[in-house]
Structure 1
Amino acid sequence: MTSRLTAAVVFDAPFDDRTAWAVGRTSAYPEDGRNPDDNKLDVIGPRYGPTADGVFTARRAGGGDWHTALVSTEYAPGGFELLPDDELTATCTVHDVQGAWPALWTWGRDTGSRPQPGHGEVDAFEYHPTHPGLLELTNHVHPAAHYAEGAVTAGRPFTLRVVFGTRSVEWYADGRLLYADHQGVGPHWRAWPVVCISVAAGRYGHLPPRPGTEELHWQCKGLTVRRPAAGRGGARGPDHPA
Protein backbone atom coordinates (compact mmCIF):
# COMPACT_ATOMS: atom_id res chain seq x y z
CA MET A 1 0.00 0.00 0.00
CA THR A 2 1.21 3.49 -0.81
CA SER A 3 2.82 5.34 2.08
CA ARG A 4 0.60 8.16 3.28
CA LEU A 5 3.74 10.26 3.55
CA THR A 6 3.81 10.48 -0.26
CA ALA A 7 0.10 11.28 -0.61
CA ALA A 8 -1.34 14.78 -0.92
CA VAL A 9 -4.82 16.03 -0.01
CA VAL A 10 -6.71 16.59 -3.27
CA PHE A 11 -10.24 17.07 -1.92
CA ASP A 12 -11.57 18.25 1.45
CA ALA A 13 -14.50 20.53 0.62
CA PRO A 14 -17.24 21.06 3.23
CA PHE A 15 -20.73 19.98 2.23
CA ASP A 16 -22.00 23.55 1.92
CA ASP A 17 -19.45 24.32 -0.81
CA ARG A 18 -21.60 24.41 -3.95
CA THR A 19 -18.55 24.55 -6.23
CA ALA A 20 -17.55 21.11 -4.91
CA TRP A 21 -20.86 19.36 -4.11
CA ALA A 22 -24.13 19.26 -6.04
CA VAL A 23 -27.21 18.69 -3.89
CA GLY A 24 -29.84 16.12 -4.83
CA ARG A 25 -28.38 15.05 -8.18
CA THR A 26 -26.75 11.84 -9.33
CA SER A 27 -27.05 9.87 -12.55
CA ALA A 28 -27.37 6.76 -10.36
CA TYR A 29 -31.00 7.79 -9.68
CA PRO A 30 -33.79 8.16 -12.23
CA GLU A 31 -34.45 11.71 -13.37
CA ASP A 32 -37.49 12.12 -11.09
CA GLY A 33 -35.29 11.67 -8.02
CA ARG A 34 -37.01 8.46 -6.92
CA ASN A 35 -35.38 5.04 -6.85
CA PRO A 36 -38.00 2.43 -5.82
CA ASP A 37 -36.34 -0.34 -7.85
CA ASP A 38 -33.46 -0.19 -5.35
CA ASN A 39 -35.78 -0.69 -2.34
CA LYS A 40 -35.75 3.03 -1.52
CA LEU A 41 -38.49 5.45 -0.48
CA ASP A 42 -36.21 8.36 -1.38
CA VAL A 43 -37.04 11.57 -3.15
CA ILE A 44 -33.85 13.55 -3.74
CA GLY A 45 -33.67 17.13 -4.93
CA PRO A 46 -31.81 20.44 -4.61
CA ARG A 47 -33.71 21.43 -1.44
CA TYR A 48 -32.67 18.37 0.55
CA GLY A 49 -28.99 18.85 1.31
CA PRO A 50 -27.05 18.11 4.47
CA THR A 51 -26.18 20.71 7.09
CA ALA A 52 -22.81 22.45 7.00
CA ASP A 53 -21.55 20.08 9.70
CA GLY A 54 -22.52 17.00 7.71
CA VAL A 55 -25.86 15.91 9.17
CA PHE A 56 -27.81 14.02 6.50
CA THR A 57 -31.54 13.92 7.22
CA ALA A 58 -34.52 12.09 5.75
CA ARG A 59 -37.95 13.60 6.44
CA ARG A 60 -41.29 11.90 5.92
CA ALA A 61 -43.33 13.39 3.07
CA GLY A 62 -46.77 12.60 1.68
CA GLY A 63 -47.75 9.42 -0.13
CA GLY A 64 -45.10 7.25 1.47
CA ASP A 65 -42.19 9.30 0.11
CA TRP A 66 -39.27 10.63 2.14
CA HIS A 67 -37.22 13.71 1.26
CA THR A 68 -33.65 12.46 1.60
CA ALA A 69 -30.35 14.33 1.63
CA LEU A 70 -27.77 13.46 -1.03
CA VAL A 71 -24.68 15.18 -2.37
CA SER A 72 -22.35 14.21 -5.18
CA THR A 73 -19.48 15.87 -6.98
CA GLU A 74 -20.87 14.67 -10.31
CA TYR A 75 -22.79 17.81 -11.30
CA ALA A 76 -20.81 20.30 -9.23
CA PRO A 77 -18.67 22.88 -11.05
CA GLY A 78 -15.50 21.30 -9.64
CA GLY A 79 -16.47 17.84 -10.88
CA PHE A 80 -13.98 16.09 -8.59
CA GLU A 81 -13.37 12.42 -9.41
CA LEU A 82 -11.66 9.71 -7.40
CA LEU A 83 -8.85 7.84 -9.17
CA PRO A 84 -7.11 4.51 -8.55
CA ASP A 85 -5.11 4.35 -5.30
CA ASP A 86 -6.90 7.36 -3.80
CA GLU A 87 -7.67 7.17 -0.08
CA LEU A 88 -10.91 8.52 1.39
CA THR A 89 -11.35 9.23 5.10
CA ALA A 90 -14.32 10.53 7.07
CA THR A 91 -15.67 10.51 10.61
CA CYS A 92 -19.13 8.95 10.64
CA THR A 93 -21.88 8.51 13.23
CA VAL A 94 -24.81 6.22 12.44
CA HIS A 95 -27.94 5.51 14.50
CA ASP A 96 -29.95 2.32 14.90
CA VAL A 97 -33.34 3.80 14.05
CA GLN A 98 -35.41 1.47 11.90
CA GLY A 99 -35.56 2.39 8.21
CA ALA A 100 -32.40 4.52 8.08
CA TRP A 101 -29.94 3.68 5.30
CA PRO A 102 -26.78 5.81 5.54
CA ALA A 103 -24.25 5.31 2.77
CA LEU A 104 -21.03 6.67 1.35
CA TRP A 105 -20.30 5.37 -2.14
CA THR A 106 -18.98 6.15 -5.61
CA TRP A 107 -20.56 6.37 -9.04
CA GLY A 108 -18.44 6.47 -12.17
CA ARG A 109 -18.37 8.30 -15.46
CA ASP A 110 -19.39 6.01 -18.32
CA THR A 111 -16.95 6.05 -21.20
CA GLY A 112 -17.19 5.37 -24.91
CA SER A 113 -20.11 3.17 -25.96
CA ARG A 114 -20.48 1.28 -22.68
CA PRO A 115 -20.51 1.97 -18.94
CA GLN A 116 -17.65 1.33 -16.60
CA PRO A 117 -17.85 -2.09 -14.96
CA GLY A 118 -20.34 -1.76 -12.13
CA HIS A 119 -20.81 1.89 -13.15
CA GLY A 120 -17.69 2.57 -11.09
CA GLU A 121 -19.57 1.90 -7.86
CA VAL A 122 -17.69 1.07 -4.68
CA ASP A 123 -19.59 1.24 -1.41
CA ALA A 124 -17.31 2.75 1.20
CA PHE A 125 -20.08 1.61 3.51
CA GLU A 126 -23.79 0.97 3.74
CA TYR A 127 -25.51 0.65 7.10
CA HIS A 128 -28.85 -0.85 8.11
CA PRO A 129 -30.04 -0.70 11.73
CA THR A 130 -31.56 -4.18 11.45
CA HIS A 131 -27.90 -5.22 12.04
CA PRO A 132 -26.71 -2.37 14.29
CA GLY A 133 -23.01 -3.25 14.47
CA LEU A 134 -22.51 -4.22 10.84
CA LEU A 135 -21.15 -2.35 7.83
CA GLU A 136 -21.78 -3.56 4.28
CA LEU A 137 -18.64 -3.16 2.13
CA THR A 138 -18.95 -3.79 -1.61
CA ASN A 139 -16.86 -3.42 -4.75
CA HIS A 140 -19.18 -3.48 -7.77
CA VAL A 141 -16.36 -2.78 -10.24
CA HIS A 142 -14.60 -6.11 -9.79
CA PRO A 143 -17.23 -7.81 -7.66
CA ALA A 144 -16.40 -8.50 -4.05
CA ALA A 145 -18.32 -7.93 -0.82
CA HIS A 146 -18.04 -8.35 2.91
CA TYR A 147 -20.35 -7.94 5.90
CA ALA A 148 -18.17 -6.50 8.66
CA GLU A 149 -19.73 -7.67 11.93
CA GLY A 150 -18.99 -5.64 15.04
CA ALA A 151 -17.42 -2.86 13.00
CA VAL A 152 -19.29 0.05 14.60
CA THR A 153 -21.41 1.05 17.57
CA ALA A 154 -24.56 3.02 16.82
CA GLY A 155 -24.32 6.58 18.13
CA ARG A 156 -20.53 6.46 18.51
CA PRO A 157 -18.34 8.21 15.89
CA PHE A 158 -15.93 6.04 13.95
CA THR A 159 -13.18 6.92 11.49
CA LEU A 160 -13.72 5.34 8.12
CA ARG A 161 -10.80 4.91 5.73
CA VAL A 162 -11.07 3.35 2.29
CA VAL A 163 -8.14 2.85 -0.07
CA PHE A 164 -9.41 2.37 -3.62
CA GLY A 165 -6.43 0.29 -4.67
CA THR A 166 -5.75 -0.68 -8.24
CA ARG A 167 -5.39 -4.32 -7.16
CA SER A 168 -7.23 -4.35 -3.84
CA VAL A 169 -9.76 -2.11 -2.13
CA GLU A 170 -9.17 -1.89 1.62
CA TRP A 171 -11.71 -0.78 4.23
CA TYR A 172 -10.73 0.35 7.75
CA ALA A 173 -12.68 1.51 10.82
CA ASP A 174 -10.78 3.30 13.59
CA GLY A 175 -7.52 2.02 12.12
CA ARG A 176 -8.61 -1.63 12.05
CA LEU A 177 -8.65 -3.42 8.70
CA LEU A 178 -12.16 -4.69 8.07
CA TYR A 179 -11.69 -6.15 4.61
CA ALA A 180 -9.24 -6.26 1.70
CA ASP A 181 -10.97 -7.56 -1.44
CA HIS A 182 -7.87 -8.44 -3.54
CA GLN A 183 -9.85 -7.32 -6.59
CA GLY A 184 -9.31 -3.58 -6.73
CA VAL A 185 -10.73 -1.05 -9.14
CA GLY A 186 -8.22 -1.46 -11.96
CA PRO A 187 -5.87 1.20 -13.35
CA HIS A 188 -8.45 3.28 -15.28
CA TRP A 189 -11.31 3.62 -12.77
CA ARG A 190 -12.70 7.06 -12.06
CA ALA A 191 -15.74 7.90 -9.95
CA TRP A 192 -17.56 10.67 -8.14
CA PRO A 193 -18.04 10.39 -4.36
CA VAL A 194 -21.67 10.30 -3.21
CA VAL A 195 -22.89 10.76 0.37
CA CYS A 196 -26.52 10.23 1.29
CA ILE A 197 -29.19 8.89 3.56
CA SER A 198 -31.77 6.61 2.02
CA VAL A 199 -34.91 5.10 3.54
CA ALA A 200 -35.52 1.36 3.25
CA ALA A 201 -38.79 0.27 1.64
CA GLY A 202 -38.91 -3.12 3.37
CA ARG A 203 -37.35 -5.66 1.03
CA TYR A 204 -34.29 -7.87 1.65
CA GLY A 205 -34.89 -7.81 5.39
CA HIS A 206 -34.30 -4.05 5.64
CA LEU A 207 -37.34 -2.84 7.57
CA PRO A 208 -39.04 0.46 6.73
CA PRO A 209 -39.45 3.22 9.33
CA ARG A 210 -41.90 2.60 12.14
CA PRO A 211 -45.20 4.49 12.13
CA GLY A 212 -44.69 7.78 13.91
CA THR A 213 -41.05 8.15 12.86
CA GLU A 214 -40.78 11.49 11.08
CA GLU A 215 -37.01 11.94 10.69
CA LEU A 216 -33.89 9.83 10.25
CA HIS A 217 -30.33 11.09 10.23
CA TRP A 218 -26.61 10.37 10.39
CA GLN A 219 -23.47 12.49 10.31
CA CYS A 220 -20.40 12.55 8.06
CA LYS A 221 -17.59 14.94 9.03
CA GLY A 222 -14.17 15.76 7.66
CA LEU A 223 -14.44 13.89 4.37
CA THR A 224 -10.98 14.05 2.80
CA VAL A 225 -9.34 12.42 -0.20
CA ARG A 226 -5.59 11.87 -0.46
CA ARG A 227 -3.77 10.88 -3.65
CA PRO A 228 -0.39 9.18 -4.09
CA ALA A 229 2.45 11.03 -5.75
CA ALA A 230 2.33 11.25 -9.55
CA GLY A 231 3.54 8.25 -11.44
CA ARG A 232 1.49 5.57 -9.67
CA GLY A 233 -1.63 3.88 -10.96
CA GLY A 234 -1.00 4.05 -14.69
CA ALA A 235 -3.06 5.87 -17.32
CA ARG A 236 -6.31 7.25 -15.96
CA GLY A 237 -7.87 9.03 -18.89
CA PRO A 238 -11.64 9.02 -19.56
CA ASP A 239 -11.32 6.86 -22.69
CA HIS A 240 -9.85 3.86 -20.87
CA PRO A 241 -12.55 1.87 -19.05
CA ALA A 242 -11.43 -0.25 -16.13
Structure 2
Amino acid sequence: MSFPPLPDDLVLPGEPVLAADFGSPEQWVAGRSWAYPGGGPINPRDNKLDHLVRDPAYSRSGVFRATRRRDGLWDTGLLTTEGSRQAFEVRSGDVLEARVRLPEETGAWPAIWTWRDGGQEIDVFEYHPDNPDLLELSNRVRGTHHYHRSPAVRPGGWVELRTRFGARSVVWWVDGAQVFADGRGVGRSWHAHLIVNLSVCAGRYHPAPDPETSEMSFEVSDLRVFRGG
Protein backbone atom coordinates (compact mmCIF):
# COMPACT_ATOMS: atom_id res chain seq x y z
CA MET A 1 0.00 0.00 0.00
CA SER A 2 1.13 3.57 -0.64
CA PHE A 3 0.43 5.23 2.70
CA PRO A 4 2.77 8.09 3.67
CA PRO A 5 4.71 7.90 6.94
CA LEU A 6 2.67 8.07 10.11
CA PRO A 7 2.84 11.14 12.37
CA ASP A 8 5.89 11.46 14.60
CA ASP A 9 3.81 10.72 17.71
CA LEU A 10 2.72 7.34 16.35
CA VAL A 11 5.50 4.78 16.13
CA LEU A 12 4.49 1.27 15.10
CA PRO A 13 6.48 -1.98 15.05
CA GLY A 14 7.54 -3.30 11.68
CA GLU A 15 5.38 -6.41 11.76
CA PRO A 16 1.58 -6.37 12.08
CA VAL A 17 -0.11 -8.22 14.94
CA LEU A 18 -2.73 -9.30 12.38
CA ALA A 19 -2.15 -9.87 8.67
CA ALA A 20 -5.55 -11.01 7.50
CA ASP A 21 -5.72 -14.48 5.99
CA PHE A 22 -9.41 -14.69 5.17
CA GLY A 23 -9.06 -18.33 4.19
CA SER A 24 -7.92 -19.31 7.68
CA PRO A 25 -10.62 -20.78 9.98
CA GLU A 26 -8.17 -20.28 12.85
CA GLN A 27 -8.31 -16.52 12.29
CA TRP A 28 -11.84 -15.91 10.96
CA VAL A 29 -15.30 -17.41 11.49
CA ALA A 30 -17.65 -17.26 8.48
CA GLY A 31 -21.38 -16.58 8.47
CA ARG A 32 -21.99 -15.97 12.17
CA SER A 33 -21.78 -12.91 14.44
CA TRP A 34 -23.38 -11.96 17.74
CA ALA A 35 -23.75 -8.47 16.26
CA TYR A 36 -26.79 -10.12 14.63
CA PRO A 37 -29.70 -11.30 16.84
CA GLY A 38 -28.93 -14.77 18.13
CA GLY A 39 -25.73 -14.81 16.11
CA GLY A 40 -27.69 -14.68 12.84
CA PRO A 41 -28.39 -15.56 10.14
CA ILE A 42 -30.73 -12.55 9.71
CA ASN A 43 -30.94 -9.01 11.11
CA PRO A 44 -34.14 -7.40 9.81
CA ARG A 45 -34.26 -4.81 12.62
CA ASP A 46 -31.21 -3.16 11.08
CA ASN A 47 -32.90 -2.71 7.69
CA LYS A 48 -30.94 -5.59 6.18
CA LEU A 49 -31.91 -8.31 3.74
CA ASP A 50 -28.94 -10.44 4.83
CA HIS A 51 -29.03 -14.18 5.26
CA LEU A 52 -25.54 -15.06 6.47
CA VAL A 53 -23.92 -18.13 4.92
CA ARG A 54 -20.82 -20.10 5.84
CA ASP A 55 -20.07 -21.03 2.24
CA PRO A 56 -16.39 -20.08 1.72
CA ALA A 57 -17.20 -18.84 -1.81
CA TYR A 58 -18.93 -15.83 -0.21
CA SER A 59 -15.97 -14.48 1.77
CA ARG A 60 -12.85 -16.63 2.13
CA SER A 61 -11.10 -15.31 -0.99
CA GLY A 62 -11.37 -11.72 0.25
CA VAL A 63 -14.17 -11.10 -2.25
CA PHE A 64 -17.34 -10.68 -0.22
CA ARG A 65 -20.43 -11.66 -2.23
CA ALA A 66 -24.19 -11.43 -1.97
CA THR A 67 -26.68 -13.34 -4.12
CA ARG A 68 -30.45 -12.97 -4.29
CA ARG A 69 -32.62 -15.76 -2.84
CA ARG A 70 -36.11 -16.76 -3.92
CA ASP A 71 -37.57 -15.76 -0.52
CA GLY A 72 -36.56 -12.08 -0.95
CA LEU A 73 -33.48 -12.29 1.28
CA TRP A 74 -29.87 -12.34 0.08
CA ASP A 75 -27.20 -14.89 0.93
CA THR A 76 -24.32 -12.74 2.14
CA GLY A 77 -20.68 -13.13 3.17
CA LEU A 78 -19.40 -12.18 6.62
CA LEU A 79 -16.16 -12.92 8.44
CA THR A 80 -15.36 -12.13 12.06
CA THR A 81 -12.53 -12.83 14.45
CA GLU A 82 -15.14 -13.33 17.17
CA GLY A 83 -15.36 -17.00 18.14
CA SER A 84 -12.29 -18.02 16.14
CA ARG A 85 -9.48 -19.99 17.76
CA GLN A 86 -7.16 -17.00 17.61
CA ALA A 87 -9.98 -14.72 18.88
CA PHE A 88 -8.10 -11.63 17.73
CA GLU A 89 -9.20 -8.28 19.12
CA VAL A 90 -8.26 -4.75 18.15
CA ARG A 91 -7.12 -2.70 21.14
CA SER A 92 -7.02 0.96 22.04
CA GLY A 93 -4.11 2.57 20.19
CA ASP A 94 -4.04 0.04 17.35
CA VAL A 95 -3.91 1.03 13.68
CA LEU A 96 -5.78 -0.85 10.95
CA GLU A 97 -4.89 -0.55 7.27
CA ALA A 98 -6.80 -2.08 4.36
CA ARG A 99 -7.28 -1.73 0.62
CA VAL A 100 -10.89 -2.04 -0.54
CA ARG A 101 -12.65 -2.31 -3.90
CA LEU A 102 -16.09 -0.73 -3.51
CA PRO A 103 -19.22 -2.39 -4.91
CA GLU A 104 -21.12 -1.00 -7.88
CA GLU A 105 -24.70 -2.18 -7.35
CA THR A 106 -27.44 -0.16 -5.65
CA GLY A 107 -28.35 -1.76 -2.34
CA ALA A 108 -24.84 -2.97 -1.52
CA TRP A 109 -23.70 -2.13 2.02
CA PRO A 110 -20.06 -3.12 2.64
CA ALA A 111 -18.27 -2.42 5.90
CA ILE A 112 -15.24 -3.08 8.06
CA TRP A 113 -16.17 -2.65 11.72
CA THR A 114 -15.67 -3.81 15.29
CA TRP A 115 -17.96 -5.48 17.81
CA ARG A 116 -17.89 -7.00 21.30
CA ASP A 117 -20.52 -7.84 23.90
CA GLY A 118 -23.38 -5.88 22.38
CA GLY A 119 -21.44 -2.79 21.33
CA GLN A 120 -17.91 -1.35 21.05
CA GLU A 121 -18.58 -0.53 17.39
CA ILE A 122 -16.15 1.51 15.33
CA ASP A 123 -16.87 1.68 11.60
CA VAL A 124 -13.62 1.79 9.65
CA PHE A 125 -15.93 2.50 6.73
CA GLU A 126 -19.43 1.96 5.38
CA TYR A 127 -20.46 2.62 1.78
CA HIS A 128 -23.66 2.85 -0.25
CA PRO A 129 -23.39 3.19 -4.06
CA ASP A 130 -26.48 5.47 -4.16
CA ASN A 131 -24.10 8.04 -2.57
CA PRO A 132 -21.30 7.22 -4.99
CA ASP A 133 -18.59 9.58 -3.68
CA LEU A 134 -19.25 9.19 0.07
CA LEU A 135 -17.76 7.03 2.84
CA GLU A 136 -19.32 6.87 6.31
CA LEU A 137 -16.87 6.82 9.25
CA SER A 138 -18.29 6.31 12.75
CA ASN A 139 -17.31 5.96 16.40
CA ARG A 140 -20.49 4.49 17.86
CA VAL A 141 -18.80 3.97 21.23
CA ARG A 142 -18.84 7.72 21.85
CA GLY A 143 -21.29 8.98 19.26
CA THR A 144 -19.29 10.56 16.46
CA HIS A 145 -19.98 10.31 12.75
CA HIS A 146 -18.39 11.76 9.63
CA TYR A 147 -19.24 11.80 5.93
CA HIS A 148 -16.17 11.89 3.71
CA ARG A 149 -16.66 12.86 0.07
CA SER A 150 -14.02 12.49 -2.62
CA PRO A 151 -13.95 12.02 -6.40
CA ALA A 152 -11.67 9.04 -5.74
CA VAL A 153 -14.53 7.30 -3.91
CA ARG A 154 -16.68 5.72 -6.59
CA PRO A 155 -18.51 2.47 -7.40
CA GLY A 156 -16.00 -0.16 -8.44
CA GLY A 157 -13.04 1.98 -7.33
CA TRP A 158 -10.24 1.07 -4.95
CA VAL A 159 -9.62 3.05 -1.76
CA GLU A 160 -6.90 2.74 0.85
CA LEU A 161 -8.09 3.02 4.43
CA ARG A 162 -6.29 3.60 7.70
CA THR A 163 -7.92 3.95 11.11
CA ARG A 164 -6.23 4.63 14.44
CA PHE A 165 -8.38 3.54 17.37
CA GLY A 166 -6.98 6.17 19.74
CA ALA A 167 -7.91 6.40 23.39
CA ARG A 168 -8.61 10.14 23.04
CA SER A 169 -9.36 10.36 19.31
CA VAL A 170 -10.24 7.90 16.56
CA VAL A 171 -8.53 9.07 13.37
CA TRP A 172 -9.34 8.05 9.79
CA TRP A 173 -7.18 8.36 6.66
CA VAL A 174 -8.40 7.73 3.11
CA ASP A 175 -5.91 7.32 0.26
CA GLY A 176 -3.11 8.63 2.45
CA ALA A 177 -4.82 11.84 3.65
CA GLN A 178 -6.21 12.33 7.14
CA VAL A 179 -9.93 13.04 6.72
CA PHE A 180 -11.37 12.97 10.25
CA ALA A 181 -10.23 12.95 13.88
CA ASP A 182 -13.21 12.73 16.22
CA GLY A 183 -11.58 14.06 19.40
CA ARG A 184 -13.55 11.52 21.47
CA GLY A 185 -11.65 8.26 21.13
CA VAL A 186 -12.47 4.88 22.63
CA GLY A 187 -10.83 5.07 26.05
CA ARG A 188 -7.77 3.17 27.23
CA SER A 189 -9.50 -0.11 28.05
CA TRP A 190 -11.41 -0.52 24.75
CA HIS A 191 -11.02 -3.75 22.75
CA ALA A 192 -13.20 -5.46 20.15
CA HIS A 193 -13.32 -8.13 17.46
CA LEU A 194 -13.18 -7.34 13.74
CA ILE A 195 -16.02 -7.89 11.27
CA VAL A 196 -15.77 -7.64 7.47
CA ASN A 197 -19.00 -8.14 5.54
CA LEU A 198 -21.28 -7.23 2.69
CA SER A 199 -24.84 -6.44 3.73
CA VAL A 200 -27.83 -5.65 1.51
CA CYS A 201 -30.14 -2.70 2.18
CA ALA A 202 -33.86 -3.30 2.68
CA GLY A 203 -34.86 0.17 1.48
CA ARG A 204 -35.60 2.15 4.63
CA TYR A 205 -32.53 4.40 4.66
CA HIS A 206 -30.94 3.49 1.34
CA PRO A 207 -32.52 1.96 -1.77
CA ALA A 208 -32.90 -1.79 -2.00
CA PRO A 209 -31.27 -3.52 -4.98
CA ASP A 210 -32.75 -3.04 -8.44
CA PRO A 211 -35.11 -5.89 -9.40
CA GLU A 212 -32.77 -7.12 -12.12
CA THR A 213 -29.75 -7.32 -9.78
CA SER A 214 -29.00 -10.87 -8.66
CA GLU A 215 -25.43 -10.60 -7.37
CA MET A 216 -23.03 -8.03 -5.93
CA SER A 217 -19.56 -8.02 -4.37
CA PHE A 218 -16.74 -6.00 -2.86
CA GLU A 219 -13.14 -6.93 -2.16
CA VAL A 220 -10.73 -6.43 0.73
CA SER A 221 -6.99 -6.90 0.35
CA ASP A 222 -3.95 -6.33 2.56
CA LEU A 223 -5.91 -5.87 5.79
CA ARG A 224 -3.41 -5.48 8.60
CA VAL A 225 -3.45 -4.33 12.22
CA PHE A 226 -0.47 -2.81 13.99
CA ARG A 227 -0.16 -2.48 17.74
CA GLY A 228 0.05 1.20 18.63
CA GLY A 229 1.29 2.99 21.68
Q: Do they superpose with TM above 0.5?
A: yes
Is 1:13 equivalent to 2:3 in the alignment?
Answer: no
- The equivalent of 1:33 in structure 2 is 41
- The equivalent of 1:147 in structure 2 is 147
Is 1:173 equivalent to 2:174 in the alignment?
Answer: yes
State how far apart, in whole Å, the 1-side matches of 2:166 and 2:12 are.
16
Deviation at 1:149, TM superposition (A): 1.4
- The equivalent of 2:219 in structure 1 is 219
Matched to 1:25, the amino acid is R
What do you get for the CA RMSD once the two structures are aligned? 1.6
Aligned-pair identity (%): 42
TM-aligned CA distance change 1:226 to 1:107, over 3 Å: same
Deviation at 1:6, TM superposition (A): 4.1
Alignment TM-score, normalising by the size of structure 1:
0.86
Task: Indicate conservation of the 8 Å contact 1:98/1:129, yes or no.
Answer: yes
TM-aligned CA distance change 1:214 to 1:107, over 3 Å: same
What's the secondary structure of 1:120's corresponding residue?
Answer: coil
Give unpaired runs (5+ residues) of structure 2. 1-6
| 1:178-209 deviations in Å (ceiling 9; x for gaps) | 111000010011100100000000012x0000
TM-aligned CA distance change 1:26 to 1:136, over 3 Å: same
- The equivalent of 1:127 in structure 2 is 127
- The equivalent of 2:63 in structure 1 is 55
- The equivalent of 2:184 in structure 1 is 183
Runs of 4+ in 1 over 6 A off after TM superposition: none
Alignment TM-score, normalising by the size of structure 2:
0.91
State how far apart, in whole Å, the 1-side matches of 2:45 and 2:166 are.
30
Task: Indicate conservation of the 8 Å contact 2:107/2:208, yes or no.
Answer: yes
Matched to 2:157, the amino acid is R
| 1:46-102 deviations in Å (ceiling 9; x for gaps) | 226545441100000121110000000001110000000100011001023111001
State how far apart, in whole Å, the 2-side matches of 1:93 and 1:4 are.
28
| 1:27-60 deviations in Å (ceiling 9; x for gaps) | 0001241001101000113226545441100000
State how far apart, in whole Å, the 1-side matches of 2:89 and 2:30 are.
16
State how far apart, in whole Å, the 1-side matches of 2:124 and 2:203 are.
22
State how far apart, in whole Å, the 1-side matches of 2:12 and 2:167 are.
19
- The equivalent of 1:93 in structure 2 is 101
Number of residues of Structure 1 aligned to a counterpart in Structure 2: 220
